[in-house]
Amino acid sequence: MGSRGWIAAIVIVALAGGGWKYSQGDDEGGNQSRAVAAEVLRGDLPISVVERGNLKAANSLELKSEIEGSTTILMLIEEGTYVEEGVLLAELDATGMVEKRVSQQITTQNAEASWIKATQNLEIQKSQNLSDQASAERKLAFAEIDKQKYTEGEWLNQEQKAKDDILLAEEDLERAIDTLAHSAKLFDRGFITRNEYDADVLAKQRKEISLEQVKRTLEVLTTYTNPREIQSLDADVLEANREIERVALQAKARLVDYEAEVRSALARFELETEKYDRLEDQIAKAKIYAPAAGMVVYAQPEGGRNSSGEPLREGSSVRERQNIVTIPSSEGMVAEVSLHESVLEKVQTGMSCTIKVDALGDLELPGTVKFKAVLPDRNSWMANPNQRLYRTEISITESDPRMRPGMSCSIEIHVEVVKDTLYVPVQTIFRDGGESIVFVYTNAGGVEKRVVEVGSFSHLWAQLLTGVEEGERIALSVPAGQTLAPAPQVQSISEDESMGDDGSNGPGMPEESSGMPDRGGEGGPGKKKGGRPAGTGGPEKSAALKGEGSNRKASKSSVAGGANEAEAPGSQK
């Protein structure tokens, strides 16, 4: 066994040899037994923190439930099975999602049909808009042509015809005047009758009337008909331009409606498709396959006040993102441990450690502190509101093929080595009021109560800076006739944490404020509040607890045997 296993050796040797150096006999009066004593030693004092933990793979593949909400495990491969990549490990209940998929498929198809219909309606409207725009442009062209035809053709013809009619009427009138003048001469001579003369007069009057009519026709065309027709044609052109603008605006408005309908139908189709794809994905994720070859390890049941803590099995209910199985990597192992808040500041990343796996006998493996959590483990304080544990990982630098994930182990974290100092067992230090004291046996056979200053300490040993000398013998329990004052009340400390088994602050142990751990011990879980350090650090702590329990009894019945002295770390003989 190497020097790193000194703790177990100390306790085993101490118990086997009869405990610390002690003596038993009557005092001068013959009616008092001397309590078991320990000797103040000088030497190098290793300070360490011992905790219990479990092995886990340094790099492992954690397979979780990716089913939304809660579901049930239908099939779960046997733990410890070595599987190849692609092997089915677990199957979760997805019956409800299979039924939803059928309904969702119909909804998705209807949404797709609505989207296609909206798309076709949009294309039809685009084509209709082109037709309406072309028709409006044709109306404008026709209106412009009609205006040009009138101004450059019809109006000129009408004006020229009216002028020609006037010329003809004037010529007809001149002929009628000449005819009437000739007829008047003939009538005076008696060559024609009155009727013939009157007919020529009437013909002249008709010609005058015809001339006036054609003149009025030209005046009406020029004054009224032509301006009105031009204004009408201009209005037609203007209205045709406005019609083009209206058609363009109407086309945009109709396109906005149809495009909005297309976007809405497309968004609905994409949403329904996403729902369908999610159902397909969820159904596919109901079967969990091995992503790589390795050994199957069930996930540890979650702790917490409302957790049953039962191991996973077929029929168990799992929530989303809950770990189901783990496939550890064969690249290495780490030890996972929970540190109590009382020793958290002692432990720093990079500190060396010694790991002893319970199942591998005396095998000791070196390691270093790899990670220390900043916040306490949520499950620990949910299970016990008065307890704060911080998850810590220990990297094991040398591996052993026999190690398996989940194996229990003891981790000793080497905090420091105090050089050439005085140290005593932690059981010898008591609290008297607000002071740390020890009971020193004098050469005269009496007991002297001394105030001491405590320095660094571990779960077994404590450094004393003042108050004692090397070689002095101090009591491991309160000697007969001695009493301890109760600890002062501190408002911030709860009654459960401040009071020991006997109603005081443990059997005289120093409080945290004085630099010593409370009687709940350093390790946190499994330690007894207010009492001696409980056996959470493996066999060595359990043995120390047994030895301590015997020391708390009367000395005359606690130990039988000769005087022996236990080997202490770094002691100088």
What span, in angstroms and rounded, lies between the C-alpha atoms of 397 and 395?
Answer: 6
Question: Is pLDDT above 70 for 572?
Answer: no
Report the predicted TM-score, pTM, of the whole model to 2 decimal places. 0.49
What span, in angstroms and rounded, lies between the C-alpha atoms of 163 and 211?
Answer: 11
Residue 179 CA, chain-centre distance (Å), reads 121
pLDDT value, residue 496 = 42
Question: Is pLDDT above 70 for 357?
Answer: yes
User: Which stretches does DSSP call E strand in 3-151?
Assistant: 37-39, 41-57, 60-64, 70-76, 82-83, 88-92
* Confidence class for position 407, pLDDT limits 50, 70, 90: confident
pLDDT value, residue 504 = 37
Instruction: Provide the 8-state DSSP code for 418.
Output: E
Average of per-residue pLDDT values in the chain: 78
Q: Are 255 and 125 in contact (CB under 8 A)?
A: yes
Question: Is pLDDT above 80 for 489?
Answer: no
What span, in angstroms and rounded, lies between the C-alpha atoms of 527 and 9?
Answer: 22
> Which residues lie across from 55 on neighbouring strands?
335
CB atoms within 10 A of CB 159: 15
pLDDT value, residue 246 = 92
* Confidence class for position 377, pLDDT limits 50, 70, 90: confident
* Confidence class for position 459, pLDDT limits 50, 70, 90: confident
The residue ranking higher by pLDDT, 342 or 503, is 342
Question: Is pLDDT above 60 for 89?
Answer: yes
* Confidence class for position 118, pLDDT limits 50, 70, 90: very high
* Confidence class for position 403, pLDDT limits 50, 70, 90: confident
User: What mean pLDDT is predicted for residues 547-567?
Assistant: 35
- Three-state DSSP class for residue 343: helix
Share of the chain above pLDDT 90, in %: 45
Question: Is pLDDT above 90 for 536?
Answer: no
| DSSP states of 473-538 | EEESSPPTT---PPPPP-TTS-HHHH--TTSSSTTTPPPGGGTS--TT-SS-TTPPTTSSPPS-SS
> Which residues lie across from 557 on neighbouring strands?
none
CB atoms within 10 A of CB 440: 21
**Letter string b/e over residues 507-527, b meaning 16 or more CB atoms within 10 A of that residue's CB:** bbbbbeeebbbbbbbbbbbeb
R_g of the chain computed on alpha carbons = 57
* Confidence class for position 91, pLDDT limits 50, 70, 90: very high
Identity of residue 496: D
Instruction: Provide the 8-state DSSP code for 459.
Output: S
Phi-psi region of 565 (alpha: psi -120 to 50; beta: other; left: phi over 0): beta
* Confidence class for position 383, pLDDT limits 50, 70, 90: low
What span, in angstroms and rounded, lies between the C-alpha atoms of 296 and 275?
Answer: 33
pLDDT digits (tens, 9 = 90+) for 426-454: 999 999 888 999 999 998 888 999 999 99
Question: Is pLDDT above 60 for 289?
Answer: yes
pLDDT value, residue 33 = 41
pLDDT value, residue 3 = 37
* Confidence class for position 288, pLDDT limits 50, 70, 90: very high
